[in-house]
Structure 1
Amino acid sequence: MSGANEKVKYGRVAVILLAAVVVIAAFVLFITMNNERINEQNAKYLQGSTEQSARRIDEWMTDSQTEIRLLASMYENTLSSAEEASIDGIENLAVYTKFDYVTYSTLDGTTYDDRGQEGNAQDREYYTQGIEGNSGVCAMGESLFYGDLSVIFYTPLYYEGEVIGVIAGAYREDSMESFLSTYFFGEQTNTYLCSRDGAVVAHSSASYSNDVENAQDLYFEGGTSSDISRADLEAAFYNGTSVTFDYRGSAGSGMAYVMQLPNYDWMLMRTFPSTITDAMTARANIAGMVFVGLVALALVAVAAYFLVQTIRQRSKLLSESEHATGIVNSSLALFRRFAVIDLAHNTYEYLKDDGIKDDLPRHGEYNMFRYYWQTRFASEEDAEAMKVALTPEYIREHLTADVPYLHLEYRLADPETGEVSWNQASMIPLTRDSEGTVQSVLMSVQDVTDVKEREIETRNALEDAFREAERASKAKSDFLNSMSHDIRTPMNSIMGLTAIATMYLDDPERVKDCLAKITTSSRHLLGLINEVLDMAKIESGNLGLTEEDFDLPETVESLLSIMTPQINDKKLELKVEIADIQHEHVVGDPMRLQQVFVNIMGNSVKFTPEGGTVSLRIKELPSRIKGSGCYEFTFSDTGCGMSEDFVKKVFDPFTRANDSRVTKVEGTGLGMSIVRSVVNLMNGTIDVQSKLGEGTTFTVTVYMKLREGDEHDLSRFEGLRVLVADDEVAACEAACELLRSVGMEPDYVLSGDEAVEAVRRAVDEARDYVAIILDWKMPGKSGIEAAAEIREIVSDDLPIIILSAYDWTAVEQEARAVGVDAFISKPLFRSRLIHVMKGLLEAGDGAEAEPVSEYEVLAQSDFSGHRVLLTEDNSIAAAIALDILGMTGVEVEHAENGRLAVEALLDHEPGYFDFVFMDIQMPVMNGYQAASAIRAAAQGEGLDGTTIDPRPDLAEIPIVALTADAFADDVARARAAGMNAHMSKPMEIELLVKTLKEWL
């Protein structure tokens, strides 16, 4: 019995010992696996942390490099000379950077920092590299001013393309230590920034990291985390590859990970101390020892422990499963339906069936599936297309081995509401047979209504843009057809009149009439060409404005002188009125402003029938812009007017009304488009009101800078009585208000007869008028007839002035014969009134008549004793210019291109030529090049880069462009090339004489 018990006892002991051996073996295995797991986990954590820091450091270095370059660029923009560069100017900008300090090094190496210290950096890498024009980053073991480790970002400072110094921004050792500091599980670790040879450039703030000068010195060959050799480590540093190795230093051992910064030639090394690993392992081993103790107490506890572990693992799996299920459900939310289609067995099964009623089962025969959906498509076209696309044959044919999926788009109609939605079905292969043929697919359906609607909107917008482009193209084609007629009309007139003049050479009056008509046709043709060229400038964005001083009265008078002949030809009535004009002297582009006026008033004249009225009203409004005046110009007519539809597109280019009343009127259809563009450039506005058959009103409002006008002594006018006669009350009141503003005491009457009676009464009462102002055209007795009677009443010393909006040259001789002393154009501007009144009252001999023809302008000009160089390659243009210039008495020599002109100036002594007219578009050397060469010769630079004796006179000789390049940017380019002024072709006689007077 005892033997049996002994056997049982030994058996139990053996079982216990076996269990203990198993437990111990399990414990050892657990510790080994746990250590490996912790080491592997820590290695990955170390690698991930280092890579994250490397990206952060790389971004910090890139930002710092950008910051120092931006600092240099901002400072370069403030320099007006190289000598102006100093640390003081840089210091004001450096306060906005993150650097610990900023330095500036001059060309000789003298270096200043923003704290007032001075040193010499000739032996520093950042100085030598910066002076050579390089930007970059370097590390200094001993900084110039503080003797500590600094990371320095540098860049050269330029002035006019030359390096004049080096700007550097530095981070000191404390900043780098703080920036690189890292903690793992609450314990600080070492981080080193190294060069490719392993030398430590910067390190974290851990005190024991200061002892390491080269990262490779930490290598520990007996480690277990890596099996690399020292040579492998050195190669990794040299090649910039990532590597993990074991290290041992004065402060302990552990793992280290090295990698190159993404965009810099530096390496980042971070350590993971073994103390952290040991602590983690110890904690895990203690848990293992507790586990062994529990197992040793009872196998039940061991079983319970494994049971608990199993439960935990199961919970984890369940949690992961729920997480995965949540992800799948979230993905499924993007799709309305999922179905598995088994093509081999002709079945389907819905995994998700949103939007399907109970009339389609969740699974069944695929034929039923296809039939059901064929009845839901929104159109027969979609139904027919999808009927084919859903067949097994189509799916197998198109889902080949190299096609990952099929996309099918279609529209579905809701059977209850009729609402149509876009859907996209995607078919993904699930199984294939041995030959690669699809056996089953997963079909997902997604609502893409929003996407398709946006796509349709985009396509419609593109189609609209295409149609608009076609419309513009057709408009331009129609425009060219119209222009062919409009240009040929004046051209035919010119050719025909030239032939007529040739046949009547012995009839001066007939030739003179032909020449006058040729001039009119030429100007009309030039206007058509200018409109086309202006439109080309507008479309290319090159239309610009000049800024020059001009007088508003001159611009208005010029407008009226241009339009009056056309107004007279059509027997139209012209009304001009001004109101509250306080500032007549302005700064702007008078040519463009007049172009606006001529286009608008020209249309009024064109489209107003005989006997109609064309009106212009000018008013100065309160200005909201300091230093500028606001002017409103209102153009009205009683013409044919425009329809509401055409008013909306009147400013579109190449647009003309399709109306039988205007089809015979010549024009480009560009005038109003140019008007709007010019007004917009002037920051102004243009408004149009029109009614078909009643007329049109354009209102243009522009702002122009004000300039000081001439100051006049008006004391001579104080208290003088003046009589005004005009048949319009508004015109009389405006004139009287103007006279009162200069100190006079005006009266007005509304007819010629009343004017005669008023003068006779004033003489009888001994209250004589000092001047009489009569409107030319008044009902009943005209201004000239009234003047004749008044002159019989008063003495010859009393000035009589005719006021008119028309060209008085035709009646000037008759008017002066009856005693008229002067003429003033409507509208009556203050400056014009003062000028004429001063001339009449102070000089007493009447106003001198201005020349009335271009011939008289030339005949009255005498520039003899001066020599002009004309540069012109066109022989006809040169011959015309030579004849015209010869009539002024000036001596002219001709050069056929710019190079010959420069050679002519260089070949003659200083002062031989007094003036140069320079064409622009010429062979060999154009006008811009020639003007630049002339100015360069003043400094001793000859043609083709040769050196000559300086010719200072060529820096002063006037050069004026005489060219067909007539736009604002052409004027600016001429001045930039060294020319003094610009004249556009065709040559205007008055401008020519004015230019010669100005420079000779």
Structure 2
Amino acid sequence: MKKIKEGINLKKLLRLKNTGSIFVIAGLLTIFVIALYTFILQSSYTKTALETEITRDTASADAVHKLVDGRIGKEDFDQIKDQSDEKKQLYKDISSYFNEIRTLNSTRYIYTATKNEEGKLVYVVDGLDSDADDVRHPGDYIEEEMVPYIDRAISGENVYSQDIIDTTWGPIFTACYPVRANHDGTGEIIGAFCIEMDMQSAYGMVEETNHISIICGLVAGAVLLLICLYTYYVYQKSKAEEQKQKQLLMTAAEEADAANKAKSAFLLSISHDIRTPMNAIIGFTNIALHQNTVSDIHDSLEKVQKSSNHLLSLLNDVLDFTRIESGKVTISPEPVDITQLTDNVQAIMNGLIYNRDLKFEVHREIPKNPYVLADVARIREVLVNLLGNAVKFTKDGGKITLDISSYPGADEKHIITRYVVRDNGIGMSEEFQKKLFDPFSQEDDANARTQYKGTGLGMAITKKYVDMMGGSIAVESKKGVGSTFTVEIPLELSEQVIQSEQKQHLHRDLTGIHVLMAEDNDLNAELATMILEDAGTTVTRASDGKEVVDLFKNHPRGTYDLILMDIMMPNMDGHQAAKAIRALGIERSDAVTIPIIALSANAFIDDIQESLDSGMNDHISKPINMEELIDTITKYIKHD
């Protein structure tokens, strides 16, 4: 009997081991299938990515060739034979023209080639700077890897590389075109015009994606193996537990699907909303370029400015929401007179309804003690968002009211401030009100979405701010009747009496001020220079951080009154440059005292703090606001 039981137990043990082996084999097969699928998928992706890059580069090369075609002919090839011909004005003109096109088009090399008396391919004109390390001179032999392409071009073909060419300078795409004797493209073929474009970024991106995908595939396979083993273990213990795990997986899948849908909805919405003002900006800019009268040009530029402000508003909404979601926004209460806050909001509202036929009324009950601890900026932004929406969704002839009141809070040291915004605008459906405060939510109405544009983030940001201040927000609305928003925010009373601060009158005449500006972008530099020169300043420009340090260091004390510093620059960035200038304080005192103001597209709080930490006095975010720029400079310039 004992042997029979042992035999039965042994069979059970073998059965369990066999079952376990099946799961292990299944897991290993899963890893193999995933790895194989990842490899096939990545091979397909690599091929598609390279084909896309080559197609784009082919179009770019054709565009460059179209610019150059007809500018070079037999005379150029006859007069330029060897390095001594580089002194000729003809060579300088062609090389300079090639270099200009190469720089504007982000092309690595542009050059012409021909066959010498020995029948070997040689360079004629290279579009690189004459002092570049890899510049080629007239008569230098063409590299072996390029010979087949140029030979085909000289035989009359337009040649495009279909694969990445590996050269001593890295992976490139090349296009070669025949050059004929006459400038009009007729006559015998006398040489070739060649373009080489850098493929390092595309090649590197594909390689990096390959590595990441392989790793992800292996990790996914390992995870699936563990899931198989764990499922087997759970199955042996309890059918109910297995069902629970399946339910968790389904929930996770649903959440992931919801997250993907939200992301897709955002990308679709923001793409549409950005393209709308961009269409107006580009369109009216082109119109202005062809208009003749000042009034017509002014009208077009006003439309460009309006669309630019709308585009900036969209981007600011996205940035604000991102900062809130990442936890970079905090509430900073400080003593304030609550009546001054409402005065400021009313002044802002007057600007919102300018040129609109809207009636705006404010009804407020001033508490006995109007002094509270509050984050003025956040409360103001909440009210401006609500009032701005009321203006947007209320037609001319309508009415908007703001009711402000307060009542006792949790104890005698606190009050609850209540803000009620009412309008008789278009209203909202009950269905939309349920998701009003969700990110990217907009009324599902084609006419409304077309007429009232936005990211769908304004109310989400408003709700986040109210929640961060411990308050509440509610809405009542009816289609075609209007909407009412009620915000309640708890505030702590303050014993400190705040005197209304008089804004210091800034002397805004900058005549005689010498500004040293570091800016690598020519258009940004031109814009800032025009603004500053209109204000009476003299501007000296540096193109990177190293140059601005050298200019300051090599000029006498007092040459410059202030430094404007871009952040993202080649050779040395703005933070490094500011530190380098401050470090000169050992040798000269003005290196410590000269005001340095960051002028950068980086707009987050962390970016501003990094500018201050590097030794700068202030930070102005692009796009440049003329008033803000002049006021900030004036603040740091001493006047008699």
| Amino acid paired to 1:657 | E
Q: Which residue of 1 aligns with 2:133?
A: none
Q: Which residue of 1 aligns with 2:600?
A: 963
Counterpart-to-counterpart distance in 2, 1:922 and 1:578: 51
Please state if 1:601 is matched with 2:601. no
Please state if 1:512 is matched with 2:298. yes
Shift of 1:559: 5.1
Q: Which residue of 1 aligns with 2:580?
A: 933
Shift of 1:862: 1.1
Shift of 1:622: 4.7
Q: Which residue of 1 aligns with 2:288?
A: 501
Counterpart-to-counterpart distance in 1, 2:559 and 2:334: 32
Pairing partner for 1:991 from 606, 612, 628: 628
1:403 to 1:454, Cα distance in 2 relative to 1, 3 A: closer
Q: Which residue of 2 aligns with 1:469?
A: 256
Q: Which residue of 2 aligns with 1:491?
A: 278
Q: Which residue of 2 aligns with 1:915?
A: 562
Larger Rg: 1
Q: Which residue of 1 aligns with 2:518?
A: 871
Pairing partner for 1:897 from 531, 535, 544: 544
Work out whether residues 595 and 636 of structure 2, in 8 Å CA contact, stay in contact via their aligned partners in 1: yes
TM-align CA RMSD: 4.3
Pairing 1:392-411 to 2, within 5 Å after superposition: 399=15
* Other structure's SS at 1:636 match: strand
Mean CA deviation greater in 613-622 or 907-916: 613-622
Counterpart-to-counterpart distance in 2, 1:567 and 1:962: 32
Work out whether residues 394 and 425 of structure 2, in 8 Å CA contact, stay in contact via their aligned partners in 1: yes
Counterpart-to-counterpart distance in 2, 1:908 and 1:504: 45
Shift of 1:970: 2.4
TM-score under structure 2 normalisation? 0.57
Pairing partner for 2:361 from 572, 575, 578: 575
Q: Which residue of 1 aligns with 2:433?
A: 647
Higher relative CO (CA 8 A, sep ≥ 6), structure 1 or 2? 2
Counterpart-to-counterpart distance in 1, 2:364 and 2:16: 85
Q: Which residue of 1 aligns with 2:246?
A: 459
Q: Which residue of 2 aligns with 1:770?
A: none
Q: Which residue of 2 aligns with 1:539?
A: 325
| Amino acid paired to 1:519 | Q
Counterpart-to-counterpart distance in 2, 1:893 and 1:550: 43
Shift of 1:879: 0.7
1:995 to 1:545, Cα distance in 2 relative to 1, 3 A: farther
Q: Which residue of 1 aligns with 2:418?
A: 632
| Amino acid paired to 2:567 | I
Counterpart-to-counterpart distance in 2, 1:972 and 1:707: 32
| Amino acid paired to 1:952 | S
Work out whether residues 321 and 461 of structure 2, in 8 Å CA contact, stay in contact via their aligned partners in 1: yes
TM-score under structure 1 normalisation? 0.38
Q: Which residue of 2 aligns with 1:364?
A: none
Q: Which residue of 2 aligns with 1:526?
A: 312
Work out whether residues 476 and 654 of structure 1, in 8 Å CA contact, stay in contact via their aligned partners in 2: no
Shift of 1:555: 6.2
Counterpart-to-counterpart distance in 1, 2:337 and 2:594: 29
Counterpart-to-counterpart distance in 2, 1:669 and 1:462: 31
Please state if 1:671 is matched with 2:458. yes
Q: Which residue of 2 aligns with 1:697?
A: 484
Counterpart-to-counterpart distance in 2, 1:548 and 1:922: 38
Q: Which residue of 2 aligns with 1:265?
A: none
CA-to-aligned-CA distance 1:343-365 (integer Å, 9 cap, x gap):
99xxx9xxxxxxxxxxxxxxxxx
Unaligned runs of 5+ in 2: 24-233
Shift of 1:981: 2.0
CA-to-aligned-CA distance 1:392-443 (integer Å, 9 cap, x gap):
xxx8897277669999xxxxxxxxxxxxxxxxxxxxxxxxxxxxxxxxxxxx
Q: Which residue of 2 aligns with 1:680?
A: 467
| Amino acid paired to 1:698 | F
Work out whether residues 688 and 699 of structure 1, in 8 Å CA contact, stay in contact via their aligned partners in 2: yes
Pairing 1:79-228 to 2, within 5 Å after superposition: none
1:975 to 1:684, Cα distance in 2 relative to 1, 3 A: farther
Counterpart-to-counterpart distance in 2, 1:909 and 1:454: 80
1:980 to 1:511, Cα distance in 2 relative to 1, 3 A: same
Shift of 1:484: 2.2
Q: How many residues align?
A: 423
Unaligned runs of 5+ in 1: 1-339, 349-394, 408-446, 712-830, 836-849, 851-856, 941-948
* Other structure's SS at 2:510 match: coil
* Other structure's SS at 1:639 match: coil
Counterpart-to-counterpart distance in 2, 1:550 and 1:663: 39
Shift of 1:598: 3.4
Counterpart-to-counterpart distance in 2, 1:890 and 1:548: 38
| Amino acid paired to 1:868 | V
| Amino acid paired to 2:440 | F
Pairing 1:196-275 to 2, within 5 Å after superposition: none
| Amino acid paired to 2:387 | M
1:472 to 1:404, Cα distance in 2 relative to 1, 3 A: closer
Shift of 1:528: 0.7
* Other structure's SS at 1:662 match: helix
CA-to-aligned-CA distance 1:237-284 (integer Å, 9 cap, x gap):
xxxxxxxxxxxxxxxxxxxxxxxxxxxxxxxxxxxxxxxxxxxxxxxx
CA-to-aligned-CA distance 1:121-162 (integer Å, 9 cap, x gap):
xxxxxxxxxxxxxxxxxxxxxxxxxxxxxxxxxxxxxxxxxx
Pairing partner for 2:528 from 881, 889, 899: 881
Counterpart-to-counterpart distance in 2, 1:621 and 1:658: 38
Counterpart-to-counterpart distance in 2, 1:873 and 1:627: 54
CA-to-aligned-CA distance 1:654-696 (integer Å, 9 cap, x gap):
2222134522221111122222223333444333333444332
Counterpart-to-counterpart distance in 1, 2:549 and 2:413: 44
* Other structure's SS at 2:448 match: coil
Tell me which protein shows more helix as a share of its residues. 2
| Amino acid paired to 2:558 | G
Identity over aligned pairs, percent: 38
Work out whether residues 408 and 414 of structure 2, in 8 Å CA contact, stay in contact via their aligned partners in 1: no
| Amino acid paired to 2:290 | M
CA-to-aligned-CA distance 1:3-44 (integer Å, 9 cap, x gap):
xxxxxxxxxxxxxxxxxxxxxxxxxxxxxxxxxxxxxxxxxx
| Amino acid paired to 1:494 | I
Pairing partner for 1:954 from 591, 608, 619: 591
CA-to-aligned-CA distance 1:224-245 (integer Å, 9 cap, x gap):
xxxxxxxxxxxxxxxxxxxxxx
Q: Which residue of 2 aligns with 1:191?
A: none
CA-to-aligned-CA distance 1:208-234 (integer Å, 9 cap, x gap):
xxxxxxxxxxxxxxxxxxxxxxxxxxx
Work out whether residues 508 and 631 of structure 2, in 8 Å CA contact, stay in contact via their aligned partners in 1: no
* Other structure's SS at 2:476 match: strand
CA-to-aligned-CA distance 1:361-400 (integer Å, 9 cap, x gap):
xxxxxxxxxxxxxxxxxxxxxxxxxxxxxxxxxx889727
| Amino acid paired to 1:478 | A
1:685 to 1:907, Cα distance in 2 relative to 1, 3 A: farther
CA-to-aligned-CA distance 1:903-947 (integer Å, 9 cap, x gap):
222222333222222222222222222223333332x3xxxxxxx
Work out whether residues 544 and 969 of structure 1, in 8 Å CA contact, stay in contact via their aligned partners in 2: no
CA-to-aligned-CA distance 1:718-745 (integer Å, 9 cap, x gap):
xxxxxxxxxxxxxxxxxxxxxxxxxxxx
Shift of 1:890: 2.0
Work out whether residues 575 and 614 of structure 1, in 8 Å CA contact, stay in contact via their aligned partners in 2: yes
Shift of 1:648: 2.9
Tell me which protein shows more strand as a share of its residues. 1
* Other structure's SS at 1:663 match: helix
Pairing 1:327-476 to 2, within 5 Å after superposition: 399=15, 452-453=239-240, 455-476=242-263
